[in-house]
């Protein structure tokens, strides 16, 4: 069941990304982040109440750092996904667990085994291959990589929070705080949405929430390595979405680089590093 939940979670996150791309670059990034969070908060609240969990985390300072990094990651990811091909963006985003493993020994003091270092550099070499042919969108590619790094830092903070708090409570608090902080910029400069944009942003909030809930259930139902390996199905779906909706065909080097990222990620799974989703 854990693998099935992660397959559904990955499909939800890939669909969320497609909705973001469908909205396009017309809306301010901060407004997009604000709406994604404010619309998702009620669903997350209902899930937590059904689980009879506390509504506020205990490690509030760590939560603030996680929120700052998460806001940075979402801004970067939303920008990249609306300014470059969907599959390439998702490929680069999948470097997040590799970057997380690279940072963990320095931030958490976790000693990485040699196979993990080989996996990390294999994946990062793949990212370099994807970025090399990106002559038309070099800034978007770098921003996507920066978003993956910010997301990795955010999930390092989540690992600290997991010692004292339930995962979905962490997600809910992060979502609510992000909506609060981004409201200061988003509301005064609010750009009216079309009916189509409202539908798409509702899809972003719905599938982001479903992805988080399903991912939490997945890790509760099965062993982390098997579940984490299943998360790479989001790459396949993003390629399908990109081709059918935007006629995007990844560059040959992007296929090679994406393959190296997936191989690196799976090797990392084998080294028993837990993988979590990017983008906030």
Matching residue, tokens 């994807």: 130
pLDDT tens per residue, the chain (280 residues)? Answer: 677 888 888 889 899 999 999 998 889 999 999 999 999 999 999 989 998 888 999 989 999 999 999 999 999 999 999 988 898 888 888 888 788 777 777 766 666 677 777 877 887 888 877 776 555 557 888 899 999 999 888 888 887 888 888 888 999 999 999 999 999 999 999 999 999 999 999 999 999 988 888 887 776 665 655 566 667 778 888 888 988 898 888 878 888 888 888 888 777 777 654 444 444 5
Structure tokens at 169: 């409570």
pLDDT digits (tens, 9 = 90+) for 259-274: 888 888 777 777 654 4
Q: Given this model, what pLDDT does residue 197 score?
A: 94
Q: Given this model, what pLDDT does residue 139 score?
A: 86
Q: Given this model, what pLDDT does residue 136 score?
A: 53
CA-CA-CA-CA torsion sign (186, 10, 94, 132): negative
pTM of the model as a whole: 0.86
Question: Is residue 116 packed enough to be buried (19+ CB in 10 Å), middle (13-18) or exposed (0-12)?
Answer: buried
pLDDT digits (tens, 9 = 90+) for 179-196: 999 999 999 999 999 999
Taking the C-alpha atoms of residue 13 and residue 91, their distance in angstroms, rounded to an integer, is: 13
| DSSP H/E element including 127 | helix 114-131
Q: Given this model, what pLDDT does residue 104 score?
A: 72
- Cα–Cα separations (whole angstroms), residue 13 to 48, 68, 142, 228: 20, 21, 21, 14
Taking the C-alpha atoms of residue 131 and residue 142, their distance in angstroms, rounded to an integer, is: 8
């Amino acid at each position: 069941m854990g693998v099935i939940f992660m397959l559904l979670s990955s499909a939800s996150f890939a669909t969320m990304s497609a909705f973001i791309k469908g909205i396009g670059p017309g809306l301010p990034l901060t407004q997009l982040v604000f709406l994604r969070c404010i619309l998702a908060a009620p669903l997350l609240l209902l899930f937590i109440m059904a689980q009879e969990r506390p509504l506020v985390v205990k490690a509030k300072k760590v939560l603030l750092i996680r929120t700052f990094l998460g806001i940075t990651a979402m801004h970067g990811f939303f920008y990249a996904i609306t300014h470059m091909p969907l599959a390439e963006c998702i490929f680069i985003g999948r470097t997040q667990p590799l970057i997380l493993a690279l940072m963990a020994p320095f931030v958490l003091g976790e000693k990485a085994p040699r196979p993990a270092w080989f996996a990390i550099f294999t994946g990062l070499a793949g990212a370099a291959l994807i970025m090399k042919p990106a002559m038309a969108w070099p800034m978007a590619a770098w921003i996507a990589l920066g978003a993956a790094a910010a997301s990795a830092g955010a999930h390092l903070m989540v690992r600290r929070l997991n010692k004292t708090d339930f995962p979905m409570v962490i997600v809910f608090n992060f979502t609510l705080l992000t909506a609060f902080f981004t409201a200061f910029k988003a509301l005064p400069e609010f750009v009216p949405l079309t009916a189509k944009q409202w539908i798409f942003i509702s899809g972003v909030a719905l599938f982001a929430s479903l992805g988080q809930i399903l991912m939490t259930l997945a890790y509760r139902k099965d062993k982390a390595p098997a579940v984490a390996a299943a998360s790479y199905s989001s790459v396949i779906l993003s390629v399908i979405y990109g081709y059918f909706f935007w006629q995007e065909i990844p560059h040959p080097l992007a296929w090679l680089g994406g393959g190296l990222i997936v191989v690196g990620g799976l090797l990392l799974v084998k080294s028993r590093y837990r993988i979590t989703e990017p983008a906030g």
